[in-house]
Amino acid sequence: MNKLITVIAAASLTALTFSASATSSAALAKQAKVSMAQARVIAQKTQQGKIVKEELEKESGGSGLRYSFDISNGKVTHEVGVDARTGKVLENSIDHGND
């Protein structure tokens, strides 16, 4: 019985975490003046390759709201940051996988 309660509690916590994450992403997207699609184009003009990860996040620098893209080109992955309010490129660096 205790095992069942633990499993149910873990599943509930996972569902709440996912729901909160989706809600915060939607709230952040409402604050952006540049869409994810527009930011993708900017990022790929900055660094050619395949986008393997993308996210909208609050982070210091620029307006404080940015799209972050991991772009793979061969064996090298670059991180390109695009300000979600201005469209300005904030970062274009090799991602060493430290974060």
Strand partners, 89: 82
Rounded CA separation 73/54 (Å):
15
Q: Which CATH architecture has domain 33-99?
A: Roll (3.10)
Residue bearing the bigger pLDDT, 14 or 63: 63
Instruction: Please say if the pLDDT value at position 39 is more than 90.
Output: yes
- The pLDDT, as a whole number, for residue 3 is 63
Q: Residue range 10-33: average pLDDT?
A: 62
Rounded CA separation 67/24 (Å):
14
**What pTM, to 2 d.p., does this model score?**
0.72
